[in-house]
Amino acid sequence: MDYAANLLSKLPGASKRDHGLRHLLDTLASYLPDTKIKQVADAYTFGAAAHKGQTRKTGEPYITHPVAVAQELADMRLDSEAIMAAILHDTVEDTDATLEEITEQFGGEVALLVDGVSKLDQIKFHSRAEAQAESFRKMMLAMIEDIRVILVKLADRLHNMQTLGAMPVEKKRRIARETLDIYAPIANRLGINRLKVELEDLGFRYLYPMRYRVLSKALKKSKGNQRQIVKRISEEFRNAMTEEGLDAEVIGREKHLYSIYKKMAEKKRLLSDVVDVYGFRIIVKDVSTCYQVLGLVHGLYKPMPGRFKDYIAIPRVNGYQSLHTTLFGPKSMPLEVQIRTQNMDRVAESGVASHWQYKADSPIDATPQRRAREWLSNLAELQGSGSSEEFLESVKVDLFPDRIYVFTPKGDIIPLPKGATTVDFAYAVHTDVGNRTVAAKIDRSLVPLRTQLANGQTVEIIKRRGAKPNPNWLTFARTAKARTAIRQHMRNLRKGESVDLGKRLLDRSLKDLGSSLRKVGKLRMSAAIEELGLKDTAQLFEQLGLGERIAPLTARFLLGVGEDGDVTNEPANLVIAGTEGMVVSYAKCCYPIQGDDVMGYLSSGRGVIIHRNCCGNLINFRKQPEKWIAVSWEKDINLEFSSQIQTDTLNKPGVLAEVAATIADGGSNIEQVEVLGRHEDCSMLSFIIQVRDRNHLAQIMRDVRKMSNVIRVSRDCA
């Protein structure tokens, strides 16, 4: 007695009522070692006990279902963890069994897979719109951390479809549509042809029972005639190959119903056109034999021009490889021939699943993500630098998404970036919804607005008329749409206030100078507006109110008084935004340069003096806050600034000259050098040098710091 049969006889109650277990164990025995089969048998015992007393709609014991799911995966030679997860996939949802028990008995990996399948079961698809189906597929893929979860789910769906007959009509139609909309495309996406084909045929059968019946009847009729022909031609191929000493397997191939239906529907073709085609698949041991066989069949029957496709040299995007050709057969009937190796055949049928197929010698340390990536990179390699990179990229995005997918209460799916919150959701639905948000519910419970969303959740926004966005939301809103809308709202809100404020500020500054807005008058004002390049007085007031323009400076400008009566307009005066028409100078205590954080001091008689924020003098000046103004650098100024650096150098002959040379090499002029102090072995030097901006200065300091005789370089605030 072999191991599997022996094991079966020992399982409690199982030998009497097989439940498909015998077939499963036999299949596993063909590729798994005994220790792994034992684990699967243990999972069966656990599952059968958990589902005890439950039946399927067909009347069979429930455990037949998970065993059938496992069988499907065993036929794809999947690893033992996937098989165990398949057997246990409904236990957590539908029985008293817990994830903890499964972790304890079968390990964390199996538990993770079961948990993943259970989570997929919890999300429900409502909408019928094509775009929504696409989002739902992405949502499903986004939710899984391990591709095997989707493999179990697809096998689960397949068996449910196979046993759908027992369900009420309406339910059949709904499940069939869902299968065609969601599951078959996922199987196709992952290259698992055998699942895709079966899911499509079953979906077709239950969604369009009449069309299915008519079509399959017609097909059966033509197949009766076909079978003989296919048999004869297969024999002919076989003989020819044996004569040439080629080892090959020839299979008569039947088209699947749904693909025939689609061809008829999409291309408006007659059934006879689509059906009267004879399909053959020839499977050989290596690539060179593929081409030999191709030559051979082209010798037997004349090939149809333009129908030869070399998918071995240029594989399809999902990794499919094969040679395709169509021949004029007897009486000119078309013969479609596919030629490929066993390995290509396996990949063509299993796609991504082929990477989870059990290999005794391969270490199992590869993470699921890594194996999915392996599959993708294999595809990429097969494609070379072909045109399909875009498709590959989109598969990759599906498998390693940076998006999450959540539902509205109506079942619409909203895609959002990872880390998005309820506020992002609200704005994604509509800006008006976002602006009036007051609270949010996730899966029907109230949550704080800053709560981050997870895949598959249903989010409901509670609105109130007249509610306003909170600036605080900017601390957690992720999406550009939400952030822009919140800021926009803040701006609109502030605008009215700032115009008001700006007007008062300007009036006060004018009064300080013995004038007022009224005294300035409309004429001078509109001339000034034009000079400043502004739209109207409201814009001027707004800029003043927002601090983008400085009231005392504007007041002087309006009155035409610079300091000492002269209004200079040298370019140097324009490097600080908002100081048009004023004299600007740079403080000699802290030497500000372009890019430094700075403040402006309104000195009587010397215009605006720019200081660095770290300058010690700011402390004194802060006693007169009205004299200090916020200033910022204009973009793209092309000027040289004086800056000061200090160096500590070793007392060696020629050091000063070396440092000076390095500074000069850095493209800077030295304005002044001063010895600040001299100790036994080191000297402190101060250089006033000309630089363009902070980057330029930093570069020079780096160069000087690298010198062997330099101990330290610094830039201080005076």
Binding stretches for Mn ion (CB under 5 A): 90, 156
**Cβ proximity to Mn ion, 90 vs 115, nearer residue:** 90
Which phi and psi (to 5°) does residue 442 adopt?
-115, 125
Pairwise CA distance, residues 141 & 653, whole Å: 72
Catalytic annotation, pick one of 26, 75, 94, 236: 94
Pairwise CA distance, residues 318 & 553, whole Å: 68
H runs (alpha helix) in 190-208: 193-207
Q: Which residue is nearest to Mn ion (CB)?
A: 156
* Contact (Cβ atoms closer than 8 angstroms) between residue 382 and residue 370: no
H runs (alpha helix) in 30-129: 34-50, 64-75, 80-88, 91-94, 99-106, 108-122
**Cβ proximity to Mn ion, 91 vs 479, nearer residue:** 91
Please name the residues in contact with 663: beta carbons below 8 A apart, sequence gap of 6 or more.
Answer: 670, 687, 689, 700, 703, 704
Which phi and psi (to 5°) does residue 463 adopt?
-110, 160
Side chain identity, residue 305? P
| Count of positions (residues) in the chain | 718
Supply the angle between the helices 147-162 and 80-88 in degrees, to the nearest 10: 50
Pairwise CA distance, residues 566 & 580, whole Å: 13
Q: How far is the CB of 172 from Mn ion (least distance, A)?
A: 17
**Cβ proximity to Mn ion, 68 vs 459, nearer residue:** 68
- Residue 327 belongs to what H/E stretch? strand 323-328
Q: How far is the CB of 155 from Mn ion (least distance, A)?
A: 9
Q: Is 611 exposed, middle or buried (0-12, 13-18, 19+ CB in 10 A)?
A: buried
Pairwise CA distance, residues 397 & 391, whole Å: 10
- Residue 326 belongs to what H/E stretch? strand 323-328
* 20, β-bridge pairs: none
- Residue 284 belongs to what H/E stretch? strand 278-284
Catalytic annotation, pick one of 93, 104, 443, 671: 93
Measured over the CA atoms of residue 532, residue 535, residue 541 and residue 545, the dihedral's sign is: negative
**Cβ proximity to Mn ion, 56 vs 211, nearer residue:** 56
Q: Please, what's the largest Cα pairwise distance for the chain?
A: 115
Half-sphere exposure at residue 299, Cβ-oriented, CA atoms within 13 angstroms: 11
The candidate with the shortest Cα–Cα distance to 324, out of 342, 298, 343, is 298
Pairwise CA distance, residues 690 & 673, whole Å: 12
94 is catalytic: yes
Q: How far is the CB of 458 from Mn ion (least distance, A)?
A: 23
Q: How far is the CB of 66 from Mn ion (least distance, A)?
A: 7
345 is catalytic: no
**DSSP state, residue 208:** S
3-state secondary structure of 592: coil
Pairwise CA distance, residues 548 & 554, whole Å: 11
Provide the 10 A C-beta neighbour count for residue 94. 14
| Residues with a known catalytic role | 93-94
